Amino acid sequence: MIKPTMTQSYGTMMDKLESYLIKQQWRQYFSEQEWYELLLLSQSQRFELRQHVDYWSRLLISWDTRSLAPQRKVYAEIRQILDAYLDLQRQEHHWQEQALEPLRLHVAETQIELQQKQLLFWRFEYEQRQERVMSLNSENDRAQAEFYNLSELTQFVSQHLKEETELIHDGLDGLMGVLDANWTALYLQDGPNHPLGTLYTLHQGCFAIEPEFCFPREGFWQAYWQTEVTEARLQDFYSPEPDLEALFPRSLALLTQTLQMPDRSQGMILACSEEKMAFSGFRQLFNIFGTHIASSLQNARLHAQINELAIRDSLTGIYNRHHLEERMRFSYDLSRRYGRELSVLMVDIDHFKSINDTYGHQVGDQVLREVADLLKHRLRSTDIIGRYGGEEFMAVLQETGQSGAEIVSQDLVRMVERTEIKIEGEEAIRVTISVGYAAFPVDALTIDNLIAIADKGLYLAKHAGRNQVGYAGQCKSVLQ
């Protein structure tokens, strides 16, 4: 058998194969398919050799199995050439495998490196998402805190309005249940002879409030406004009335009663139904209810006024000390819970005793009122201002740190200094104030210490000559 060597060329073997094929007498020993494959093998390029070699490898095995070698005189020559091809192919395959091994290793290392980079990217992306989640949670907590603060503040300031609104809602809801009405409504004038008012309506479980509402008083509605206060008016319609339809759609029955409030302002309570004759027999009951709702509203407003008087300083109209301290502790608790800044300002009118001694207590009261107004108008609506005692005031600045408190304090001192207070029968006078401030959590962590440090700042400002701001042992003059 011919053994191929490293120097044996592919072309030499092909030449030898072609020399055999020139002898056409070989043709008789092969089938058409075998002869065709031999021709292809002799004409193949190196990169096409494998598929033909595989074919002849299987064919030689078949010859051996069927003992066809003795019948084919060229078997030995063909077998010799093909064995040489197969050996050469195996050696080339081995060489290729050796050449490819470093390349495969490099590819594997590259893939590992890419996977490591992908893992790093995924880790970075995961950390970014985690930071985003934490940021969103923080923003959500802040939004909830803002909502809670606003809700509590609104409830604190407008509690009497809420009580009155709840009273109206419950009254209209109860009236709707008794009368089986489609609409119940209450209109309250804003004041005597005032053209506007507030309309409360209840329809299909939806309670609506329309402030600054102009309820019609002419045309269709004129007769209803002219009805006696103690008399309920009932009317049915065989077809929709345009003026009634504009306010209460599809209504064919209307029951009304005008109300007279203690401040001489008017109101009207109404019930509407989409069915005619729906309120027959309910006029007296409606009249009693109208009288009761007017009385209940009067009591609610009186109660609200009493509550307002209980939290206000009677002279200046700002919060009294008791309510001021309640609001201050409430704001402090919120600031501590949600990690927000809070500042306290202590304000004192300079030489107030001399004003009383020189001009009298009435002028002293006027000075207190005007200084309180100046402070209130300079501060934000979310800030808290109250009379702490005598000529001393306290302000609580929400979400305001040390630098912000200093700016506000300086502004207050300058503003009061520039303001003339006109005295009846006397020349206008000017007064000054001294201010001390402290901030949470920079200066103190408890509300009592916060007040004490602000009060110490006030003492330092007055001791340094008044008409200035004092803070934690250092005085800052408004002239600087």
Which pTM value belongs to this model? Answer: 0.47
Contact by Cβ (8 Å): 347, 375? yes
CATH architecture of residue range(s) 161-311: 2-Layer Sandwich (3.30)
Q: pLDDT, tens digit, for every residue of 144-155?
A: 544 444 344 334
Q: pLDDT band at residue 284, thresholds of 50, 70 and 90?
A: confident
Q: pLDDT, tens digit, for every residue of 457-478?
A: 999 999 999 999 999 744 443 4
Q: pLDDT band at residue 455, thresholds of 50, 70 and 90?
A: very high
For the record, the structure tokens of 290 come out as 């109208």
Contacts of 302 by beta carbon, 8 Å cutoff, 6+ apart? none
Q: Give the separation between CA 98 and CA 270, rounded to whole angstroms.
A: 101
Contacts of 352 by beta carbon, 8 Å cutoff, 6+ apart? 364, 367, 390, 391, 431
Q: Give the separation between CA 348 and CA 388, rounded to whole angstroms.
A: 10
Query: Domain extents for the chain?
Result: 1-156, 161-311, 321-477
Structure letter (DSSP) for residue 229: T
**Which helix (DSSP H) or strand (DSSP E) does residue 191 occupy?**
none
pLDDT at 140: 66
pLDDT at 78: 66
Q: Which has the higher per-residue pLDDT, 477 or 19?
A: 19
> Is residue 419's pLDDT more than 60?
yes
Q: pLDDT, tens digit, for every residue of 113-161?
A: 767 767 777 777 778 888 877 877 776 665 554 444 434 433 433 344 4
> Is residue 179's pLDDT more than 60?
yes
> Is residue 343's pLDDT more than 90?
yes
161-311 with 321-477: one CATH topology?
no
- The answer to whether domain 321-477 has CATH 3.30.70.270 is yes
Q: Closest by alpha carbon to 388, among 443, 318, 462, 446?
A: 318
Using CA atoms, how far residue 470 sits from 394, 399, 464, 466, 475, in Å, is: 15, 21, 9, 9, 4
**β-strand partners of 234:** 255
Q: Give the separation between CA 368 and CA 264, rounded to whole angstroms.
A: 33
> Is residue 97's pLDDT more than 60?
no
For the record, the structure tokens of 462 come out as 């007055």
Per-residue pLDDT, averaged over 35-46, amounts to: 64
List the 197-203 sheet strands across, edge first. 206-213, 197-203, 183-189, 266-273, 253-260, 233-236
Alpha helix stretches (DSSP H) within 248-316: 283-311
Residue labelled with tokens 């009591």 = 299
Q: pLDDT band at residue 250, thresholds of 50, 70 and 90?
A: very high
> Is residue 108's pLDDT more than 70?
no
pLDDT at 477: 38
Q: Give the separation between CA 259 and CA 238, rounded to whole angstroms.
A: 28
pLDDT at 49: 52
Q: pLDDT band at residue 282, thresholds of 50, 70 and 90?
A: confident
pLDDT at 155: 42
Least confident of 76-90, 192-206, 296-310, 406-420: 76-90
Residue labelled with tokens 């509407």 = 272
Residue labelled with tokens 């907590």 = 141
Per-residue pLDDT, averaged over 55-81, amounts to: 61
- In percent, the amount of the chain with pLDDT more than 90 equals 41
